[in-house]
Amino acid sequence: MLAGMHGESRDGPAIEFCGVSYELPSGRRLLSDLNLQVQRGETLVFLGRSGSGKTTTLKMINRLLTPTKGEVCVDGATAAQTDVIRLRRGIGYVIQEIGLLPHFTVERNIGLVPEIEAWPSDKIRARTQELMQIVGLDSQLAARYPHQLSGGQRQRVGVARALAADPAILLMDEPFGALDPLTRDDLQREFLSLQQRLHKTVVFVTHDLNEALRLASRIALMEAGKLITVLSPQAFLRSTDPLAAAYVRAFHTGLDSTANRGSS
């Protein structure tokens, strides 16, 4: 009974888009008629180039943007049935490293949601320490400011902050986009192992097919404000959809051309 009141054991999708469109006041359409369900515990990756509408879609989940048409339901509740502040505190949000508060220490950044939720301070401190360990941050970094950290460390802080209040849903907007390839590789690997333990519902935005293939349960391919197709990574590689095939081709080009140069 009680468990049913909380999101996690409820049936039905974690997030549902019903005929969602988004237009700017100027009339420019960023998203047209999106219909999609995100299942509990899956990692759904929105893949597309910039301007394809993937970030717009993500921001409608935590209502940083409001659809001009259609409805986004989180945990089966429509926007009208939800208090937006409560909703956001129940959804972890990770963006590129610039999203950290520059005047807060690492510790305070991570404990941000617990702080505004008015947890007692010893509980916040314990949770912060636990999280720093989970995301692989040295506890000595707690008193540092974001500008004193490396890109990879900042991103770990971002992930820890999103996990702080143990949300069932995580939104990640190109979180690893600004990192060098080796650090990105580390963080992707850690994300996967974290996700194996935590089973969050993750909605992830990227323009990098490699990242999508590696992290996704399903890949939602976006182009010019439209959802083109939703496929598993395996199916994506074999897809005959022209756009998906173009992504796969572009992905192979670097390898192939190097191989050709080597053999000639």
Partner 1 sequence: MNLFQFFAQNSGQVAQLTLEHLWMVGISTLLAALIGIPLGILIAHRPLLNRPVLGAANIIQTIPSLALFGFLLPVPWLGDRAERLAILALTLYALLPVIRGTYTGIRGVEPAVVESARGMGMTDSQLLWRVELPLAMSVILSGVRVAVVISVGLATIAAAIGAGGLGELIFRGLAMVNNQLILAGAIPAALLAVLADFSLGWVERRLRPQ
* List of E strands, 157-253: 169-173, 201-206, 218-223, 226-231
* CB nearer partner 1, residue 88 or residue 218: 88
Instruction: Provide the 3-class DSSP secondary structure of residue 212.
Output: helix
With residue 10 as reference, give the H or E element that holds it: none
DSSP 55: H
* CB nearer partner 1, residue 72 or residue 171: 171
- Cα 120 versus chain centre, distance: 29
Asked whether the beta carbons of 34 and 44 are under 8 A apart, the reply is no
* Distance in angstroms (rounded) separating the CA atoms of residues 105 and 126: 16
* CB nearer partner 1, residue 68 or residue 96: 96
Six-digit token pair at 237?
């590689």
Nearest Cα residue to 48 out of 214, 252, 253, 247: 247
* CB nearer partner 1, residue 64 or residue 237: 64
* CB nearer partner 1, residue 29 or residue 89: 89
In the bound complex, what is the minimum distance in angstroms from residue 252's beta carbon to partner 1? 34
In the bound complex, what is the minimum distance in angstroms from residue 100's beta carbon to partner 1? 8
Which residue in this structure is represented by tokens 């670097």?
A: 254
In the bound complex, what is the minimum distance in angstroms from residue 16's beta carbon to partner 1? 20
DSSP 34: E
List residues binding partner 1 (CB under 8 A).
62, 64, 85-91, 93, 95-96, 98-103, 112-113, 116, 145, 147, 161, 171
* Distance in angstroms (rounded) separating the CA atoms of residues 234 and 95: 27
* CB nearer partner 1, residue 147 or residue 197: 147
